[in-house]
Amino acid sequence: MTSLPLKSTLKKPHQAGFGRYLVLAALIIAVLIVLLPFAIVVINAFKTPTDYASNGPLSWPSEWSIDGIVAFWQRVDYSQKLLNSLLISASVAVIGVLLSLLNAFALGIGRIKGRVWLLILFMVANTLPQESLVYPLYYLSKEFDLYNTRFVVILIFSVIQSAFGTYLLSSVFSTFPKEMLEAAMLDGCNKLQLLFKIIVPVSRPTLSVLFTFFFIWTWNEFFLPLILLISNDRQTVPIAVGVLQGQRNMEATLSSASALLGILPCFIFFLIFQRTLTKGIAAGSVK
How many C-alpha atoms does 223 have within 13 Å on its Cβ side?
11
Least CB distance to another protein at residue 113 (A): 9
Among 12, 13, 175, 188, binds another protein (CB under 8 A): 12
What is the Cα–Cα distance from 77 to 181, expressed in whole angstroms? 51
Among 175, 231, 249, 285, binds another protein (CB under 8 A): 285
* Contact partners, residue 161, CB within 8 Å, separation at least 6: 92, 93, 96, 100, 213, 214, 217, 218
The closest alpha carbon to 216, from 177, 255, 161, belongs to: 161
The closest alpha carbon to 99, from 178, 168, 190, 189, belongs to: 168
Residue 77 or 251 having the CB closest to another protein? 251
Least CB distance to another protein at residue 137 (A): 5
According to CB under 8 A, which residues from 236 to 255 bind another protein? 237-239, 241-242, 245-246, 251-252, 255
Among 134, 147, 149, 176, binds another protein (CB under 8 A): 134
Least CB distance to another protein at residue 144 (A): 10
Residue 70 or 112 having the CB closest to another protein? 112
Binding mask 173-202 for another protein (x = CB under 8 A): --------xx--x-----x---x-------
Binding mask 264-283 for another protein (x = CB under 8 A): --xx-xx-------x--xx-
Binding flag, residue 90, another protein (CB under 8 A): no
- DSSP code of residue 105: I
How many C-alpha atoms does 99 have within 13 Å on its Cβ side?
21
For another protein (CB under 8 A), the number of binding residues is: 105
Residue 49 three-state SS: helix
Contact 287/171 with Cβ under 8 angstroms?
Answer: yes
Contact 38/263 with Cβ under 8 angstroms?
Answer: yes
According to CB under 8 A, which residues from 112 to 131 bind another protein? 112, 118, 120, 122-125, 127-131
Contact 149/234 with Cβ under 8 angstroms?
Answer: yes
Least CB distance to another protein at residue 133 (A): 4
Q: What angle do CA 204, 212, 269 make, to 5 degrees?
A: 135
Residue 66 or 128 having the CB closest to another protein? 128
According to CB under 8 A, which residues from 24 to 63 bind another protein? 24, 27, 30-31, 34-35, 37-38, 40-41, 44, 52, 56-58
